Amino acid sequence: MILLWLIVVLVGGGLLAWLAARIHPLLCRWISLAAVLVDLALALFEASRHLSSGNAGMNTWFEQVDWSWIPQFGIHFHLALDGLSLLLVLLTLVLGVVSVVISWSAHIKALGFYHLNLLWILAGILGVFLSLDLFLFYFSWELMLIPMYFLIAIWGGERRTYAAVKFFLFTQLSGLLMLIAILALYFAHYHATGVYTFQYTALLGTPLSPHTAMWIMLGFFIAFAVKLPMFPFHTWLPDACAEASTATNVILAGLLATTAGYGMIRFLFPLFPGAFRAFAPVAMTLAVITILYGAILAFSQTNLMRLLAYASISHLGFVLLGIFSGSGIALQGAVMTLIAHGISTSALFIVAGSIEDRTHTREIGVMGGLWDTVPRLSGAGLFFALASLGLPGLGDFVGEFLILLGTYRAHTAMTVVAACGVLAATFYALRFVQRAFQGPNLRPWRLPDLALREGLTLGAMMVVLLWLGLYPQPVFHTFAQAANHLPALWR
């Protein structure tokens, strides 16, 4: 039941916050914060209950909710939690708290509707992580679209309509391909067994001809690849990031990509092992291209948000590489990267947003010498830039290192090229730090430094990254408990 409450609290909290905004803006913010915090507490409670209890390593679902929803189609309202979804649910809620907190002082028009969208997109993301019925999964997947569309289209920058529509069209079209794939799988399962079901566990062993399996898998893959985003479907992300507000960017780059990675891990390989292996070389090539392409483009950006977006694309290429390498080590790295990237990229977007709030510009060329006037903000920027480029001791390093390590055994050449991406990351990350924070303060900027609230948020994210980097064992341990021996499928 707690799984249901996780979603209900966010949906209900969103509605309450929307109504409360008419009474007092502060009430609306507090209700939103309370809703996310309650959810986080619930998730932590779940984590402590299941990780400490005796069923560790049982590779079953920690908890399930399964109701018949539309019986005529065999559609169930089926939520379930295992190690993998637990990790990502925690990440979602942590970033959810962060996004509510960083919207705190900003002057936001239509405040109630903003928080409604913010909480509902979090609910949709949780739905994606928890759904075990493919119909429900698609339902949640589509549900993420509308709040995000509104977040970009209403609270974005100058070209927000263009960016929002582009985001919507990319994800909607690819989502429809996934719908075809889901339906095809559903009917293929019916032809094989005579049972209509969307249940993940039932569909797992569906016998498919290699050809059919490949087509159906591609339907899923394209939807995930667009959301990740992977080259050549990536173009919506820089546009969206360049227009969206800071909290939106946290969700956009930190969480939507995670849903895509989750989908690949949960669905692609377990459902279509043969097609997955056959397709792996293509996907890995695309992953390597994504890594390098993102890195090169990040290097040449002058807009800070676009730089971070391309950097994010480059990092997500590693996730794709790790998942398709077929190696268990690389898979662990991919999960680790999803989490660490979620935190570090979000933090970078917050730093960038803070700079923009103060300087009213997103152009890196105009900045410079910020260290003199905002040392704490600049220090945070340096920290997260180092995390992003893969400094040992921080979470991103662990993830990318494991991906490269695991992939090396599968495909040496790809690993070598992908490793160049790590090198390139050094260039664009350090270039950002140098251009923005160091050098002479020519303008000269005189700006207020980080407030306590911002400082605490970023500080907490630093602690998490350090923890992930120095003691990643709990993450691996939790992931190892994914249901149906998911991690074991990647040898």
Partner 1 sequence: MIAIEQGAQQVAQGYAVHQIYQIYRILPEVVLTITGVLIMLIEPLLPSRASRKPLGGLAIVGTLAALIASLWQMSLPAGTAYHGEVRTDAFSVFFHVLILGIVLVTLLTAVDVFLPETENTAEFYALVVFGAVGMCLMTSAVELLLVFISLEISSISTYILAGFRRHTGKSTEAALKYFLLGSFATAFFLFGIALLFGSTGTTTFAGIAAGLPGTATPAFAVIAVAMILVGLGFKVSAAPFHVWTPDVYEGAPSPVVGLMSTAPKAAAFAVLLRIAFEVCPSLHVRWMPLIWLLAAISMTVGNLGALRQQNVKRMLAYSSIAHAGYLLVAFTALSREGIAAAIFYTAAYAVTNVGIFAVVSHYGGYEEKLLSIADYRGMARHFPVLGGALAFFLLSLIGIPFTAGFFGKFYVFSASLSAGVLWLSILGLVNSGIASFYYLRLVTAVYSQPASEAPAVRRPGWALQLALLLTVTATLVLGIFPGRTLAMARAGAATYAPSSAITGSLKAAGGVSGAPLPVTPLHAAGQ
Among 53, 55, 161, 434, contact with partner 1 (rule: CB under 8 A)? 161
Binding residues with partner 1: total (CB under 8 A): 41
Closest CA to 246 of 113, 156, 350: 350
Among 34, 51, 165, 489, contact with partner 1 (rule: CB under 8 A)? 165
Applying CB under 8 A, which part among 28-36, 179-187, 286-294, 422-430 lies near partner 1? 179-187
Among 54, 191, 440, 473, contact with partner 1 (rule: CB under 8 A)? 191
What minimum distance in Å lies between the beta carbon of 427 and partner 1? 38
- Cβ closest to partner 1, residue 190 vs residue 476: 190
| Three-class DSSP category at 65 | strand
- Cβ closest to partner 1, residue 188 vs residue 280: 188
Is residue 212 a contact point for partner 1 (CB under 8 A)?
A: yes
| Three-class DSSP category at 64 | strand
| Buried residues in 102-115 as b, exposed as e (16+ CB within 10 A) | bbbeeebeebbbbb
Binding mask 25-44 for partner 1 (x = CB under 8 A): --------------------
- Cβ closest to partner 1, residue 52 vs residue 72: 72
Task: Return the residues of window 288-317 that contact partner 1 according to CB under 8 A.
Answer: none
Among 30, 104, 196, 476, contact with partner 1 (rule: CB under 8 A)? 196
β-partners of residue 75 are: 70
Is residue 77 a contact point for partner 1 (CB under 8 A)?
A: no
CA neighbours closer than 13 Å in the CB half-sphere of residue 412:
0
What minimum distance in Å lies between the beta carbon of 476 and partner 1? 35
Ranges of H-type helices in 159-303: 160-193, 200-203, 210-227, 236-243, 246-251, 257-263, 269-271, 273-299
What minimum distance in Å lies between the beta carbon of 198 and partner 1? 11
What minimum distance in Å lies between the beta carbon of 46 and partner 1? 25
What minimum distance in Å lies between the beta carbon of 186 and partner 1? 7
**Helix (H) or strand (E) run with residue 75 in it:** strand 75-81
Applying CB under 8 A, which part among 173-181, 241-249, 272-280, 442-450 lies near partner 1? 173-181
| Buried residues in 234-248 as b, exposed as e (16+ CB within 10 A) | bebbbbbbbbbbbbb
Is residue 209 a contact point for partner 1 (CB under 8 A)?
A: yes
Burial class (CB in 10 A: 0-12, 13-18, 19+), 441: middle
Task: Return the residues of window 80-109 that contact partner 1 according to CB under 8 A.
Answer: none
Applying CB under 8 A, which part among 82-90, 182-190, 243-251, 354-362 lies near partner 1? 182-190
What minimum distance in Å lies between the beta carbon of 259 and partner 1? 15
- Cβ closest to partner 1, residue 275 vs residue 309: 275
Is residue 71 a contact point for partner 1 (CB under 8 A)?
A: yes
Is residue 15 a contact point for partner 1 (CB under 8 A)?
A: no
| Three-class DSSP category at 270 | helix
Applying CB under 8 A, which part among 83-91, 210-218, 461-469, 474-482 lies near partner 1? 210-218
- Cβ closest to partner 1, residue 196 vs residue 427: 196
Residues 6+ apart with CB under 8 A from 59: 481, 482, 483, 484, 485, 486, 488
Q: How many Å apart are CA 166 and CA 41, to the nearest integer? A: 36
Among 5, 104, 215, 476, contact with partner 1 (rule: CB under 8 A)? 215
Peptide bond into 207 cis (omega under 30): no
Q: Do 45 and 2 touch, CB atoms closer than 8 A?
A: yes
* Phi, psi for residue 107 in degrees, rounded to 5: -80, 115
What minimum distance in Å lies between the beta carbon of 175 and partner 1? 8
DSSP for 409-463, please give it. Answer: HH-HHHHHHHHHHHHHHHHHHHHHHHHHHSS---S--------HHHHHHHHHHHH
Q: How far is CA 348 from CA 254, 345, 438, in A?
A: 10, 5, 17
| Three-class DSSP category at 70 | strand
Among 188, 422, 461, 482, contact with partner 1 (rule: CB under 8 A)? 188
Q: Do 382 and 462 touch, CB atoms closer than 8 A?
A: no
Residues lying near partner 1 in the complex (CB under 8 A) are found at 70-74, 110, 139-140, 142-143, 145-146, 149-150, 153-154, 161, 164-165, 168-169, 172-173, 176-177, 179-180, 183-184, 186-188, 190-191, 194, 196, 208-209, 211-212, 215
